[in-house]
Amino acid sequence: MSAGRPAGAPVTVVQRRLEVDTRPLGRGLHEITRAVAELLASTTVRTGLLHLFVQHTSASLVIQENADPTARADLTAWLDRLAPEDDPRYSHTAEGADDMPAHLKSVLTGCAVQVPLTDGRLALGTWQGIFLCEHRQRGGRRSLVATFLGTG
């Protein structure tokens, strides 16, 4: 028997889609914590795990500080230095100068995050939020899949 789950308690798996339009703000970190919490509230899962996945190769997901916006700005600037636009070594250039750097940034930050669920809430730390990282200048509609696994 595991902690928090009585023997024989049924495990529920609920999957929801989330669409995020990053075009209004473009490149940068877009906080989606509230939208994900609303998805969780639409389920019966109270204790378990969230697996959140972004279905794109030029955007990514991170858990990052949500109190001071300069932390997000610094992270974006650091990624821009690691994967600059117009690098003559890139051969993948057909989709624009920001496309290959977006793919590199996505590899560095990742396409999924996991968050524990406790008492029907995201068990994030005090200063943590879930962010969709838009790595393209103009962005677009980004599709995410949230899978909630746990007990009611």
Among residues 43, 29, 40, which one has the least CA distance to residue 122? 40
**Number of domains observed in the structure of the chain:** 1
**Residue 118's pLDDT is what?**
98
45 in any annotated domain = yes
**Residue 1's pLDDT is what?**
38
Q: Using one digit for the tens of pLDDT, what is the confidence trace for 70-103? A: 999 999 999 999 999 999 999 999 999 999 999 9
Instruction: Give the residue-averaged pLDDT of 25-54.
Output: 97
Q: Which amino acid is at 128?
A: Q
Q: Is the pLDDT of residue 3 over 70?
A: no
**Residue 5's pLDDT is what?**
58
49 in any annotated domain = yes
Token couple for 30: 């877009």
89 in any annotated domain = no
Instruction: Give the residue-averaged pLDDT of 19-48.
Output: 96
**Residue 76's pLDDT is what?**
95
Q: Is the pLDDT of residue 148 over 60?
A: yes
pLDDT band at 9 (very low <50, low <70, confident <90, very high): confident
Residue ranges making up the domain that contains 138: 18-83+94-151
4 in any annotated domain = no
Task: Please check whether residue 99 is in contact with residue 27, taking contact to mean a CB–CB distance below 8 angstroms.
Answer: no
Q: Using one digit for the tens of pLDDT, what is the confidence trace for 46-78? A: 999 999 999 999 999 999 999 999 999 999 999
39 in any annotated domain = yes
Q: Using one digit for the tens of pLDDT, what is the confidence trace for 101-135? A: 999 999 999 999 999 999 999 999 999 999 999 99
CATH classification of the domain holding 57? 2.60.120.460
2 in any annotated domain = no
The H-or-E segment that residue 15 falls in is strand 12-21
Q: How is 81-142 classified by DSSP, letter by letter? A: HHS-TT-TT----TT-TTHHHHHHHHHHH-SEEEEEEETTEE---TTEEEEEEE-SSS--EE
Q: Is the pLDDT of residue 6 over 90?
A: no
Q: Give the whole-angstrom CA distance, residue 23 versus residue 139.
A: 5
1 in any annotated domain = no
**pTM summary value:** 0.92
Helix (H, G, I), strand (E, B) or coil at 79: helix
71 in any annotated domain = yes
